[in-house]
Amino acid sequence: MQQYFVAQHAPSLLPDGKQWKLAWADEFDGFELDRSKWDFRLHLMHERHPTFSTEGVELPGDSCVHLNLVEKDGQYYSPHLQTGYNFMDEAPANGRYGKFTWPIAEFKQHKFLHRYGYYECRCQLQKQPGWWSAFWLQSPIIGCCPDPAIAGVEVDVMESFRPGWVTQPMLHWGGYGADHKDEPVREPGSDVFFDDGFHAFGVLWEPDGYTFYYDGIQTGHKACRAVSHTDQFILISTECQGYRTGDQPSEALKKVVLPDAFVVDHVRVFDML
């Protein structure tokens, strides 16, 4: 891997044998979230998610964004940041068309979409159980047709479902119903443990597949079963466990000791020259 230096910030680790140009980045300098780059994800599959929140985002001046776990009256909340929007997340405010219903909400203007290149997030994982963190790419129109080249692919670069552990990167395509398909890049159960420092997670997205890296080292095989050839957006997200199947936190989440945060130092996107 080769280093790409950014003044007064940690360098990026990029694949060798290529020339790179920085296409987009957020170093999280200052004290406020750059809303020209990020918005809050609040909905999931036409439903207002009970724990996705606009609260919990903190930029304390350390050139990082802290995605904090928040507790109120026994319920838990955490932020979910994105640079674009999925067309099936929100339900339409008024989708009536005569006696029929149009199932898609009004489109929003994306903050940042991109295709191919290297995507890197340097972050520090959460320390408490009961909630998880992720760095991933998503298509605005995933599942709109059977062809993932057109409809796009969910690219899970990093997911941490328990403190210190990162599960294998995954691809998902075909939507999230009967046509859903996926591809892991390592064997199931091959989670990797990381200490509580900062670590870099990246993916090289090429027209013929995806290659994933942890701290500059390739993990798993190159994923080639489905490749998106459409522009996609970035998410740095957290989610509280228990609320996808009910309205109460999981038993693990009830035992957390606050404060706790998923801390992101930077997100960078590079193009190959």
The reply to whether 5 falls in a domain is: no
Provide the token pair at 217: 């080292």
The reply to whether 258 falls in a domain is: yes
The reply to whether 61 falls in a domain is: yes
The reply to whether 202 falls in a domain is: yes
Q: What is the 3-state secondary structure (H, E, C) of the chain?
A: CEEEEECCEEEEEECCCCCEEEEEEECCCCCCCCCCCCEECCEECCEECCCEECCCEECCCCCCEEEECEEECCEEEEEEEECCCCCCCCCCCCCEECCEECCCCCCCCCCCCECCEEEEEEEECCCCCCEEEEEEEECCCCCCCCCHHHHCCEEEEEEECECCEECCCEEEECCCCCCCEEEECCCCCCCEECCCCCEEEEEEEECCEEEEEECCEEEEEEECCCCCCCCEEEEEEEEECCCCCCCCCCHHHHCCCCCCEEEEEEEEEEEEC
The reply to whether 13 falls in a domain is: no
Domain interval for residue 198: 19-91+103-272
Q: Tell me how many domains the chain contains.
A: 1
User: What is the predicted pLDDT for the residue at 92?
Assistant: 87
The reply to whether 252 falls in a domain is: yes
The reply to whether 210 falls in a domain is: yes
The model carries a pTM of 0.96
- Per-residue pLDDT in tens (0 to 9) along the chain, 273 residues: 999 999 999 999 999 999 999 999 999 999 999 999 999 999 999 999 999 999 999 999 999 999 999 999 999 999 999 999 999 999 888 878 889 988 899 899 999 999 999 999 999 999 999 999 999 999 999 999 999 999 999 999 999 999 999 999 999 999 999 999 999 998 877 899 999 999 999 999 999 999 999 999 999 999 999 999 999 999 999 999 999 999 999 999 999 999 999 999 999 999 999
Instruction: Report the 10 Å Cβ neighbour count for 27.
Output: 19
Instruction: Give the CATH number, domain containing residue 232.
Output: 2.60.120.200
